[in-house]
Amino acid sequence: MPARTEAVRSFLRDGGSLCPYAASAERAGQVQYLELAPGYPGLRAHMLEAAFQFAGTANVGGAHALLVLTPNDLPFDEAKERAHMMFMELALAFGRVTYPVAPVTDLAGHLRRNIEPYLADPIRFGRFFIGCKDKPLYTIGFGPQYPVEGPRHPRHAPHTLLSMTWHHELAAVPPESVEMIRARMLAAAGCLYDADELWLPLCPASGFRQSMLLGEEQA
């Protein structure tokens, strides 16, 4: 197994993620990995294969995730650009799963027109869900660009990656479990992250709802 993938697997398995479902999903073998090679050779073919494989977990039940790792860890702004590129390619891959007879150029153009405004201004346009047939997917960026100390950022991971999870699986989490996760994240990181942004800004004012959220919790 590639070293970067193994590092992320160990991170999840050992409880490094602030999401408790990450560890259980990894231990249950419900996390699928795609580690991209330097230079991204065969990018679309690899992503299409991964999308078809992950589509098969849509109705299995439990918590499943597809993690797509970059071949290297870049500075924050460059990693953001790479995350945007990967998001577009993943949207195309799952679009081809959903519309297998649609011309790739037409599908890519349609997705680009809809996705680029979200990537440019996610706060204004709101979350763009990549769809797989009739089921939306959450897609969130993680990486070592987010600090591990002082306190640990909820988006920290040992290597740069995009995580995809089924919306309906997360929606099925009981409210009391959601509150426990929120409390654990607040205790560990002092904040929650806004899942509407693919690549969350480092600036707390942009990405964290810390003071407002803590005030809401105390009210």
Q: So what's the pLDDT on residue 209?
A: 38
Q: In the predicted model, what is the mean pLDDT of the chain?
A: 86
Amino acid in the structure at residue 74 = L
The pLDDT tens digits for 70-101 are: 999 999 999 999 999 999 999 999 999 999 99
pTM for the model: 0.87
Domain regions of the chain by residue span: 3-218
The answer on pLDDT for 36 being more than 70 is yes
Q: So what's the pLDDT on residue 194?
A: 61
Cα(119)–Cα(25) distance, rounded to whole angstroms?
Answer: 28
pLDDT tier, 203 (very low <50, low <70, confident <90, very high otherwise): low
The pLDDT tens digits for 134-144 are: 999 999 999 99
| Residue 82, both tokens | 């790479």
Sheet holding 65-69, edge to edge: 31-35, 65-69, 161-166, 135-142, 130-132
Q: So what's the pLDDT on residue 218?
A: 30
Buried b (16+ CB within 10 A) or exposed e, 40-49: beeeeebbbe
Q: So what's the pLDDT on residue 152?
A: 77
User: Do β-strands 31-35 and 65-69 pair in parallel, antiparallel, or remain unpaired?
Assistant: parallel
